[in-house]
Amino acid sequence: MDNFGFLKVAAAIPHVSVADCTANAERIIALAEQAAQRGVEIVVYPELAVTAYTCGDLFLQSALLDAADHALSEIVKASRKLPLTLIVGMPLRHGSSLYNCAAVIAQGRVLGVVPKTYIPNYAEFYEARWFASGAGIEDETIRVAGQEADFGAGLTFEVNGVEFGVEICEDLWTTVPPSSHLAQNGAKVIFNLSASPESAGKYDYLRQLVAQQSSRTLTAYVYCSAGFGESSTDLVFAGNALIAENGIILREAERFSLEERLTVADVDIERLEFERRRNTSFRMNESTTENTVIEMEVPEGLRAAALDRDIDPLPFVPHDEKRRNERCEELFHIQAHGLARRLEHTHSTKAVIGISGGLDSTLALLVAVRTFDLLQLDRKGIIGITMPGFGTTGRTYHNALELMHGLGVTVREIPIGKACEQHFSDIGLDASDRSAAYENAQARERTQILMDTANMEGGLVVGTGDLSELALGWATYNGDQMSMYGVNASVPKTLVRHLVKWAADTEPDAATRATLLDIIDTPVSPELLPADADGKIAQKTEDLVGPYELHDFFLYNFVRAGYRPAKILLLAEQAFRGSYDRATIRKWLTVFLRRFFAQQFKRSAMPDGPKVGSVALSPRGDWRMPSDAMATIWLDDLEK
């Protein structure tokens, strides 16, 4: 495991020769050497890889079993010079029984042997003809490859500080897989040695099974199944390899390949530890019984420059268009149902929204329209108010009006210039001042108009601010930070744009669709400073606080993954390679950390609003943080 908590694992699928243990050992060693060259720390092979899975009644022959033991000795000998751990499948005799086993090997030593617990004896499987179950075996030793080794189904192994467990094929398909208990006993990675034959549709179910078990156990799950070379008398083996982490498939091998395969991924042990700390249900199920943990230190091998892992630069946005559209529709449903419940509870048939012609207020208006349609209320009950000020441009002003007219809501226009000028005079603010007071007074004037209008109409002020703005504190306290219900409060900026785009794509009115598309193309701005000489937006948010795609990446990995800044920087470099250099990422990450800590007081006083995704900052929901916490530790970590 490296300094950032990544463990490089691999599923190796050798080209086996049925019952030729010497040849199989050579292929196992060759793949182990390839794995070491790639910096792999633990590599797993298919079920019964030393002999091949399809030996049939030959498993009962002493000649085969002796050859398998000798072949394993050669593998053990070869492991002395390899800086990694091998998990190899083979048949082993113990007492008067034969067991389907996984031998865990490192540095010339057999660390332990795990027998298969569930022995399938149905359909095409008849393993009980040869193998006994390892259920109930514990605290025993077995003679293997000239060594005495621990033998038991509940063994776990700790190599260089990472605890892992092993189960074999059918064990995963049972009601309560052994890996569930292994995870409760501390294993953070599960390796499955399998020889599961193919049938139509089976692989899709297998992917779901592996992903779900990794999620249920909060583990990384490495599945490795037999491939080309197994007997095709009645069955075909596709060489399936899957590496999953907490419900996500990180890597999978090409199926039905005639070539050997080494599937490698960096699994995030630190992230799994974080998930277990935050998941109280998992902690409640942690085992109180002691199990045998076999510890071993293995010299570190090569370290790859880049992670064998895809880092998503847009963690809040599904990449697949179909899934993204489904996500957008689902989010609209959540937002609309939340607002509908609040309107119903307050016996209100009116909603008041400030419409700026920007993305956030557009999304809030679209949600309000959907809500009123859901409640079968007249859209005229939605009072959209555009409040042009000193920085309002013609583009946003006209888009605000066109959007409201196109959606059929009540349109009001209330300029704030004169009111703000009077306020500046009252408080003694110089007319040429462009400080925070100048900007925030405009935001608070708009909020006052919305609140007072809502009081007059018996309505509800619908907030427009989004999750990314809340994270950065990019909102005026008791200004646009405040509302009676914030429908966008847990929607990140990178997703807001896609939600509005989805709404545009599904909008039947061509003029309204064109307006929505132009809003999407408009630079994000609070428009609190006067426009430039050409009448264009002079105050662009991302020029001031940094790109929202970076900030959303920082937010997700800081809050949802619990990563420290140095690790976020590492991941961001890989995710945004070609878009931002290290210095730029570090600069904006520093801004994020400073603002996130300094602006907590705004989140502590944020209004109600629906949680729509895996990250939310409401003090009544996901995130609880004191308003006067210091960022020193996190900023120092970034400088290391």
Give the separation between CA 12 and CA 263, rounded to whole angstroms: 6
Burial of 321 (0-12, 13-18, 19+ CB in 10 A): exposed
Give the three-class secondary structure for 135: coil
How far is the CA of 335 from the CAs of 224, 331, 461, in angstroms?
Answer: 42, 6, 15
The token pair that represents 316 in the structure block:
């809040």
The token pair that represents 49 in the structure block:
């890889």
Contacts of 366 (CB under 8 A, 6+ apart): 332, 407, 499, 500, 503
Question: How far is the first Cα of the chain from the last one, in angstroms, to the nearest whole number?
Answer: 19
Locate tokens 């290290």: which residue?
A: 582
Beta strands in 382-425 (DSSP E): 382-386, 410-413
Give the three-class secondary structure for 160: coil
245 counts as catalytic: no
Give the separation between CA 338 and CA 120, rounded to whole angstroms: 49
Residue pair 226/47 in contact by the 8 Å Cβ criterion: yes
Give the separation between CA 166 and CA 194, rounded to whole angstroms: 11
The residue type found at 307 is L
Residue pair 230/49 in contact by the 8 Å Cβ criterion: no
For every residue of 428-464, DSSP letters joined together read T--TT--SHHHHHHHHHHHHHHHHHHHHHHT-EEEE-
Contacts of 271 (CB under 8 A, 6+ apart): 5, 245, 246, 561, 562, 563
Residue pair 18/230 in contact by the 8 Å Cβ criterion: yes
Residue pair 528/391 in contact by the 8 Å Cβ criterion: yes
Please give the DSSP secondary-structure letter assigned to residue 85. E
Of 21, 41, 47, 170, the catalytic one is 47
The residue type found at 111 is L
116 counts as catalytic: yes
Of 8, 116, 350, 493, the catalytic one is 116
Of 169, 224, 328, 420, the catalytic one is 169
Give the separation between CA 110 and CA 144, rounded to whole angstroms: 8
Give the separation between CA 138 and CA 113, rounded to whole angstroms: 11
How far is the CA of 382 from the CAs of 24, 210, 402, 481, in angstroms?
Answer: 73, 48, 15, 20
The token pair that represents 116 in the structure block:
């298969």
CA dihedral 487, 492, 494, 500 (to 10 degrees): -10
Contacts of 351 (CB under 8 A, 6+ apart): 339, 343, 368, 371, 372, 381, 382, 383, 459, 460, 461, 462
The token pair that represents 26 in the structure block:
């050579």
Residue pair 132/97 in contact by the 8 Å Cβ criterion: yes
The bridge status of strand 6-13 relative to strand 261-268 is: antiparallel
Closest-CA residue to 8 (of 251, 197, 274, 233)? 251
47 counts as catalytic: yes
Q: Is the dihedral of CA 621, 627, 629, 634 positive or negative?
A: positive
The token pair that represents 552 in the structure block:
């959303």
Catalytic residues: 47, 116, 169
